[in-house]
Structure 1
Amino acid sequence: MTQQIRRVLVRSFEDIVIERVPAPVAQDDELLVRTTVVGVCGSDTHAAAGHHPFIDLPYRPGHEAVGVVVATGRGVGDFAPGDRVIVEPNLYCGRCPQCRSGRYNICQELKVFGCQTPGALADLFTIPARRVHRVPDGMTDLQAVLVEPLATPVHAVAKAGDLTGRTVAVLGAGPIGLLTVVAARHAGAARIAVTELLESKRARALRLGADVALPAGAPDLVDRAHEALGGPVDVVFDCVARGQSMAQATDMVAKGGHIVVVGVGAAGTTPVRLDLVQDREIRIEGTLMYTAEDYRTAMSLIASGAVDTAELVTATFPLEDAAMAFSASLDLEQVKVLVTADGAVGVDGR
Structure 2
Amino acid sequence: MKAFVADAQWAPKSGYKPTAEEISKRRAVIGSSVWRNPTFELKTVPTPDIIDSDELLIAVKRCGICGSDTHLYETTPDGYIQFSGPARLPQTIGHEYSGVVVKKGDGVRNFKAGDMVAVESIHWCGSCTPCRSGAFNQCKNVELIGITAPGALAEFITAKERHCWNINALRRIYSEDDIFDLGALIEPVGCAYNGIFIGGGGIRPGAAVVVFGAGPIGLAAVALSRLAGANIVIAFDIHNKRLDIAKAMGADYVFNIIDLEKIGILPREKIMDLTDGYGAELQIEAAGAARRTVPEMENSLAVNGKLVYLGRSATSAEVELDILVSGANSIIGVRGHSGHGIYNNIIRLLSTGRLQIKNMITSYYEFTETLTALEKSVKRQGAKCIIRIG
TM normalised by structure 1 equals 0.91
Cα deviation for residue 296 of structure 1 reads 1.4
Q: How many residues align?
A: 337
Quote the residue 2:4 is aligned against. Answer: 8
Distance 1:309 1:283, change over 3 A: closer
Residue 325 (structure 1) aligned with residue 373 (structure 2): yes
Distance 1:280 1:8, change over 3 A: same
| 1:25-64 CA distance string (max 9 Å, x none) | 1122111111110011111111222111114244321211
The gaps in structure 2 that reach 5 residues or longer are 9-36, 75-80
Letter in 1 for 2:206: G
Q: Is the 8 A contact 1:328 1:334 kept in 2?
A: no
- The one of 319, 334, 337 equivalent to 2:382 is 334
Quote the residue 1:207 is aligned against. Answer: 248
Q: Is the 8 A contact 1:61 1:115 kept in 2?
A: yes
Letter in 2 for 1:146: L
Q: Relative contact order (C-alpha < 8 Å, sep 6+): which is higher?
A: 1
Residue 46 (structure 1) aligned with residue 85 (structure 2): no
Moved more, 84-93 or 197-206: 197-206
Give the Cα–Cα distance (whole angstroms) in 1 for the partners of residues 70 and 90 of structure 2: 13
Cα deviation for residue 87 of structure 1 reads 0.8
| 1:244-303 CA distance string (max 9 Å, x none) | 011111112123211000111x21432222332333332000111122411112112222
Give the Cα–Cα distance (whole angstroms) in 1 for the partners of residues 163 and 236 of structure 2: 34
Letter in 1 for 2:47: A
Cα deviation for residue 212 of structure 1 reads 1.0
- The one of 141, 144, 148 equivalent to 2:180 is 141
Quote the residue 1:347 is aligned against. Answer: none
The gaps in structure 1 that reach 5 residues or longer are 343-350
Q: Is the 8 A contact 2:227 2:355 kept in 1?
A: no
Quote the residue 1:273 is aligned against. Answer: 320
Q: Is the 8 A contact 1:192 1:229 kept in 2?
A: no
Q: Secondary structure at the match of 2:99?
A: strand
| Identical counterparts, % of pairs | 27
Measured on the aligned residues, the alpha-carbon RMSD in Å equals 1.8
Quote the residue 1:83 is aligned against. Answer: 115
Residue 35 (structure 1) aligned with residue 82 (structure 2): no
Give the Cα–Cα distance (whole angstroms) in 2 for the partners of residues 306 and 222 of structure 1: 31
Give the Cα–Cα distance (whole angstroms) in 1 for the partners of residues 292 and 46 of structure 2: 46
Q: Secondary structure at the match of 1:145?
A: helix
Q: Is the 8 A contact 1:328 1:337 kept in 2?
A: no
Residue 233 (structure 1) aligned with residue 280 (structure 2): yes
Residue 152 (structure 1) aligned with residue 191 (structure 2): yes
- The one of 258, 263, 276 equivalent to 2:311 is 263
Quote the residue 1:19 is aligned against. Answer: 43
Quote the residue 2:30 is aligned against. Answer: none
Q: Secondary structure at the match of 2:308?
A: strand
Distance 1:272 1:47, change over 3 A: farther
| 1:300-342 CA distance string (max 9 Å, x none) | 2222334445521111112122111111222322110011113
Moved more, 301-310 or 269-278: 301-310
- The one of 349, 361, 369 equivalent to 1:313 is 361
Cα deviation for residue 197 of structure 1 reads 1.6
Quote the residue 2:33 is aligned against. Answer: none
Q: Is the 8 A contact 2:235 2:246 kept in 1?
A: yes
| 1:125-169 CA distance string (max 9 Å, x none) | 111121111113314211221111111111111122241221111
Q: Is the 8 A contact 1:151 1:297 kept in 2?
A: no
Moved more, 167-176 or 88-97: 88-97
Quote the residue 1:348 is aligned against. Answer: none
Give the Cα–Cα distance (whole angstroms) in 1 for the partners of residues 311 and 324 of structure 2: 20
Cα deviation for residue 110 of structure 1 reads 1.6
Q: Secondary structure at the match of 2:373?
A: helix
Q: Secondary structure at the match of 1:33?
A: strand
Please list, as runs of the form range in 1=range in 2, the aligned pairs for 1:86-101 lying within 5 A after superposition.
Answer: 86-101=118-133
Distance 1:171 1:78, change over 3 A: closer
Cα deviation for residue 6 of structure 1 reads 0.7
- The one of 223, 240, 246 equivalent to 1:182 is 223
Give the Cα–Cα distance (whole angstroms) in 2 for the partners of residues 180 and 78 of structure 1: 30
Cα deviation for residue 14 of structure 1 reads 6.3
| 1:175-215 CA distance string (max 9 Å, x none) | 11111011112222121111112222222211111111122
TM normalised by structure 2 equals 0.82
Give the Cα–Cα distance (whole angstroms) in 2 for the partners of residues 310 and 157 of structure 1: 20
Q: Secondary structure at the match of 1:66?
A: strand
Q: Is the 8 A contact 1:154 1:297 kept in 2?
A: no
Give the Cα–Cα distance (whole angstroms) in 1 for the partners of residues 350 and 186 of structure 2: 7
Quote the residue 2:145 is aligned against. Answer: 113
Q: Secondary structure at the match of 1:338?
A: strand
Quote the residue 1:59 is aligned against. Answer: 91
Residue 253 (structure 1) aligned with residue 313 (structure 2): no
